Amino acid sequence: MSSDIKKPIVFSGIQPTGGFQLGNLLGALKNWELLQRENFCIYSIVDLHSITVRNDPEELKLKITEAAAMLLALGVSPEKSILFIQSQVSSHAELSWILSCYTQFGELSRMTQFKDKSSKNPENVNAGLFTYPVLMAADILLYNTDLVPVGDDQRQHIEITRVIANRFNNIYGDVFKIPEGVYPKVASRVMSLADPKAKMSKSDPNKNARIMMTDENDAIRKKVRRAVTDSDNQIRRGIGKEGIENLMEIYSACTNKSLDCIESEFAGKNYGEFKNQVADALISLIEPLREKYKELMKDKKYVFSVLKTGKEKAMEISEVMMKRVNEAIGLGL
């Protein structure tokens, strides 16, 4: 199948960990539906990545189903794209081990996310967390990927993927295509509503710090109203205005208005007025997705059928790449 694909190939994955928040949507997922219009898109629920932290088995199964339903609600089309569960395609783990033999310890030790997550969970600094970028590289390289839509916080992982692929190719020839990252122009890093110097996170114990894709309209409005700003009461960018800048970035991503345009539009208006407009824009974006998600969760048979078909297609493509890799390094007679 891979040799028959004429459009640019896009790969992206997302972990099934506790639902999707606004940062996931604006950082990457908003573009998933758009990308499949002109590209051949391969989207994965990367459950192997999620087990670097301890999970309840039944809860993880539910999260995987919820993730698939939300991606379909966001507009991922089984007719245009492949949607599958990472762990159901064994080539991901197989290629990850091979690529780990072509990745330097020092390169992995410099990964910012490893340092951050290790400091936050010192009781569980496992090898999987350390080699996480290698598995991500395998996810991408398996499919002759041209483009990888990710949030700004994943730049380092895209770069190490390119380093690993180039190193492998320099030894064995042009086995892997060298992918390019695709980053959102605005809201690439959606910040916490409670602490605008920290990234919005679904693991934040403060529920008011984040907006979830399943939040009801009243909850969205209340969270935006409580968002931390400053005492200046002017809708503009500047030093010490991280909170209002974050809301401006969010509003820009929802409305496609530039930050300069937003400053002009709200000149002379107060934070209360602006927050109401931000909440309205978020509700317009999230409400239809949330309602579609609810419908899909009532039709799990359909969701599972999409994942089964996606698995079969992903296996067909990835097995071609694994054969090429194994032949290159001398594995398998």
* Token pair of 42 as six digits: 């391969």
- Are residues 101 and 130 located together in one domain of the fold? yes
The size of the chain, in residues, is 333
Q: What's the pLDDT at 332? A: 75
Percent of the chain whose pLDDT exceeds 90: 78
**What phi, psi does 95 have (nearest 5°)?**
-70, -30
The pLDDT of residue 23 is 87
Overall domain count for the chain: 2
Domain that holds residue 223: 207-293
Find out whether 135 and 96 touch, Cβ atoms under 8 Å. yes
| Residue 26 pLDDT | 85
Which residues have a Cβ under 8 Å from the Cβ of 109 and sit 6 or more positions away? 130
pLDDT, one tens digit per residue, over 89-115 is 999 999 999 999 999 999 999 988 887
Cα separation, 10 vs 81, in Å, equals 9
131 phi and psi, to 5 degrees?
Answer: -95, 10
In a domain, 156, yes or no: yes
Residue 102, domain CATH: 3.40.50.620
142 within domain boundaries: yes
Q: What average pLDDT does this structure show over 269-298?
A: 97
- pLDDT confidence of residue 54: 87
What is 82-146 written as a DSSP string? EEEEGGGSTHHHHHHHHHHTTS-HHHHHT-HHHHHHHHH-GGG--HHHHSHHHHHHHHHHTTT-S
Average pLDDT, whole number, for the chain?
92
Whole-number pLDDT of residue 1: 56
What would the mean pLDDT of 176-199 be, rounded to a whole number? Answer: 86
The pLDDT of 291-312, averaged and rounded, is 97
What pLDDT is stored for residue 313 in this prediction?
97
- Residue 92 inside a domain? The answer is yes
Same domain, 183 and 236: no
d(CA 149, CA 30): 10
- Residue 281 sits at the vertex; the CA angle it makes with 276 and 282, to the nearest 5 degrees, is 100
Residues 156 and 66 in one domain: yes
Shared domain for 28 and 143, answered yes or no, is yes
What is the pLDDT at residue 120? 76
Residues 32-63 pLDDT 10s: 888 999 999 999 999 999 998 888 999 999 99
pLDDT at 153 over 80: no
Per-residue confidence (pLDDT) for residue 4, from 0 to 100: 60
317 pLDDT band, cuts 50/70/90, is very high
Query: Residue 249 maps to which CATH number?
Result: 1.10.240.10
What per-residue confidence (pLDDT) applies to 188? 60
- Same structural domain, 182 and 256: no
Asked, for residue 196, whether it belongs to a domain, the answer is no
Question: Considering only CA atoms, which of 58, 65, 76 is closest in space to residue 297?
Answer: 65
When pLDDT is averaged across residues 77-96 and rounded to a whole number, the result is 97
For residues 241 and 230, the answer to whether their CB atoms sit within 8 Å is yes
Return the pLDDT at 32: 87
- Output DSSP code: residue 240: T
- 316 with 179, same domain? yes
143 and 250 part of one domain: no
Q: Which amino acid is at 143?
A: Y
More confident residue, 26 or 237: 237
Q: Do residues 171 and 329 touch, judged by C-beta distance below 8 A? A: no
Is the same domain home to 288 and 303? no
- Spatial separation of the C-alpha atoms in residues 327 and 63, rounded to whole Å: 37
Q: Which two tokens stand for residue 23?
A: 């940062």
Q: In which residue are the tokens 């700003």 written?
A: 229
Say whether both 83 and 49 belong to one domain: yes
Identify the CA nearest to 47 among candidates 91, 84, 5: 84
Claim to verify: residue 21 and residue 75 sit in the same structural domain = yes
Average pLDDT on 228-257 reads 94
CA-CA distance, 235 to 99, in Å (whole number)? 48
Asked if residue 194 is part of any domain, the answer here is: no
In a domain, residue 107? The reply is: yes
Q: Tell which wins on pLDDT, 131 or 188.
A: 131
In a domain, 168, yes or no: yes
Distance between CA 71 and CA 83 in Å, rounded? 9
Distances in Å between the alpha carbon of 20 and those of 131, 273, 293? 24, 27, 12
Whether 164 and 62 map to the same domain: the answer is yes
Which residues carry out catalysis? 117, 199, 202
* CA separation for the pair 107, 103 (Å, rounded): 7
Q: Are residues 170 and 231 in the same domain?
A: no
How far is it, in rounded angstroms, from Cα 283 to Cα 276? 11
